[in-house]
Amino acid sequence: MPRAQDAITEKVPLREIVFLSLISALPPLSTDMYLSAMPTIASQWRVSDSYVSLSLILWFISFSVALLGFGPLSDKHGRKPVLMIGLGIFAMASIICSISQNVPMLIVGRLLQGAGAAGPSAMVMAIARDRYQGNIRKQVLAMMGIILALAPMVAPIIGAKIMYFSSWRMIFLAQGMYALLSLMVVLNFDETLPQRMNQGFWQMMGRYRFLFGNSSYMLANAIMGLLAAPLFGFIAMSSKVYITIYGLSEQMFSLLFGLNALMLMLGAAACTRLTKKVSDVTILTGCMIGTVVGATGILLVGTYHYMAFACTMCLVTFCGGMSRPLSNHLILNQVDSDVGSASSFSVFYVFVVGALSMAYVSAPWSNPIQAFGIMAVCIPVFVLILWPMLLGRVARRSRAMQQSLADSAADMEVGAGG
pLDDT per residue of the chain (418 residues) written in tens, 0 to 9: 434 333 344 455 677 777 777 888 888 888 888 887 888 888 899 888 778 888 888 898 898 888 888 877 777 777 888 889 999 999 999 999 999 999 999 999 999 999 999 888 878 777 777 777 767 776 777 777 666 667 767 787 888 888 888 889 999 999 999 999 888 888 887 776 666 666 665 666 666 777 888 888 899 999 999 999 999 899 888 888 998 899 998 789 888 888 888 898 889 889 888 888 899 999 999 999 999 999 999 999 999 999 999 999 999 999 998 998 889 888 888 887 666 677 778 878 887 898 889 889 988 899 999 999 999 999 999 999 999 999 998 888 777 766 655 555 555 555 555 5
- What is the helix, strand, coil percentage profile of the chain, to 5? 85, 0, 15
- φ/ψ (deg, to 5) at 258: -65, -30
Closest to 361 in 3D by CA, of 239, 185, 272, 212 = 239
Per-residue pLDDT at 407: 53
Closest to 96 in 3D by CA, of 175, 178, 181, 186 = 175
DSSP string, 88-145: HHHHHHHHHHHT--SHHHHHHHHHHHHHHHHHHHHHHHHHHHHH--HHHHHHHHHHHH
What does the CA dihedral 239, 243, 248, 252 come to, rounded to 10 degrees? 20
Distance CA 34, CA 30 (A): 8
Return the SS3 of 192.
coil
All structural domains of the chain, each given as residue ranges with its CATH number in brackets, are 14-191+211-400 (1.20.1250.20)
